[in-house]
Amino acid sequence: MKKAALFIDNSNLYHSLKESRRLPFPPADYEGLFAMLSKQFSFELREIYLYDAVKDISKEQTQYAAQQKFHSGIRSLSPKWPIIIKTRKLRYRKLGKRLVPEEKGVDVLLVVDAIKSAMTKGVESIIILSGDADFVPLVEFLKNLKVETVNLHLFAGSSTELRQACDKHILIYFTDSSLLLK
């Protein structure tokens, strides 16, 4: 089995799932995804990081509560999956009369942790669960370190540039009742 670290851009995943009409995607579905990566693709997931922008309770009380419940569910998954949740506060900017949330700094956290894992933790594969082309420079850097790069993604919101930059890509897709990888 390949020693691997998985980095989840949760905002990107959420929006891809939403576009695919596959929400909700509860913590148990994440656990199933981890198990499939291990079994079907022979990855020993040594580290799993989930990156998220935290909503402001004073501006989005209901969404904040749902997000905190989700994070709690992720933390309570099987000890087999060592998940570290890293967050930054969501920022809000005024657009006319409404506030528009903006994610800032979350991708940078992911990049720094992926580089640390590749350089100091003996992982052979870095798996990036995102469709965001902003991660292409990270992939190029990791390849120079001779670390295998894998893009795990849904069809919706997936960047061709990111898929092509990685050594391989794995598509997450759904049948009527199951989540599958290919």
Number of folded domains in the chain? 1
Q: Are 167 and 142 in contact (CB under 8 A)?
A: no
pLDDT tens-digit readout, 64-122: 999 999 999 999 999 998 899 999 999 999 999 999 999 999 999 999 999 999 999 99
From residue 10, give the alpha-carbon distance in Å to each of 7, 47, 53, 59: 9, 16, 8, 20
Q: How confident is the model at residue 152 (pLDDT cuts 50, 70, 90)?
A: very high
Model pLDDT, residue 177? 78
Q: How confident is the model at residue 176 (pLDDT cuts 50, 70, 90)?
A: confident
pLDDT tens-digit readout, 29-38: 999 999 999 9
pLDDT tens-digit readout, 114-129: 999 999 999 999 999 9
Q: Are 40 and 181 in contact (CB under 8 A)?
A: yes
- By CB atoms closer than 10 A (0-12, 13-18, 19+), residue 93 is exposed
Percent of the chain with pLDDT over 90: 92
Q: How confident is the model at residue 48 (pLDDT cuts 50, 70, 90)?
A: very high
Token pair listed for 89: 């506060």
CATH number of the domain that residue 89 is part of: 3.40.50.1010
Identify the domain containing residue 46 by its residue range.
2-181
Model pLDDT, residue 160? 97
